[in-house]
Amino acid sequence: SQQGEEDPQALSIQEGENATMNCSYKTSINNLQWYRQNSGRGLVHLILIRSNEREKHSGRLRVTLDTSKKSSSLLITASRAADTASYFCATDDDMRFGAGTRLTVKP
């Protein structure tokens, strides 16, 4: 089974609000990645954070990693309707994915 598990399963917010989704994993990792999937499309890689990093930014994305809690969070600031998608995490070279978080941003 996959190591990364996303939470919540679904999230609905208004445009302009921030969206936070979480990923928990079971064993020690070297890195963790977040992916995005628009409906009916393939997954697209968003960001990678290494185990020696605590926070990483990319545009409106902010990823944190807490290795002591074996968890990561993805924050999307000032969300837009175009951010509506499913978001997945994956650890190290694990090729398996969880159910993801389905984010809906209402205009």
Partner 1 sequence: SQTIHQWPATLVQPVGSPLSLECTVEGTSNPNLYWYRQAAGRGLQLLFYSVGIGQISSEVPQNLSASRPQDRQFILSSKKLLLSDSGFYLCAWSNGNSGNTIYFGEGSWLTVV
Residues that bind partner 1 (CB under 8 A): 31, 33, 35, 40-45, 48, 88, 90, 92-93, 95-100, 102
Contacts of 43 (CB under 8 A, 6+ apart): 35, 36, 37, 88, 97
Closest distance between partner 1 and the C-beta of residue 49, in Å? 12
Residue 58, number of CB atoms within 10 A of its CB: 11
Closest distance between partner 1 and the C-beta of residue 5, in Å? 10
Q: Which two tokens stand for residue 20?
A: 């936070």
Q: How far apart are CA 47 and CA 44, in angstroms?
A: 10
CB-nearer residue toward partner 1: 9 or 14: 9
Q: How far apart are CA 47 and CA 19, in angstroms?
A: 16
CB 20 within 8 A of CB 32: no
CB-nearer residue toward partner 1: 19 or 89: 89
CB-nearer residue toward partner 1: 43 or 61: 43
Closest distance between partner 1 and the C-beta of residue 73, in Å? 19
Beta strands 10-14 and 101-106 are parallel
CB-nearer residue toward partner 1: 5 or 15: 5
Closest distance between partner 1 and the C-beta of residue 40, in Å? 7
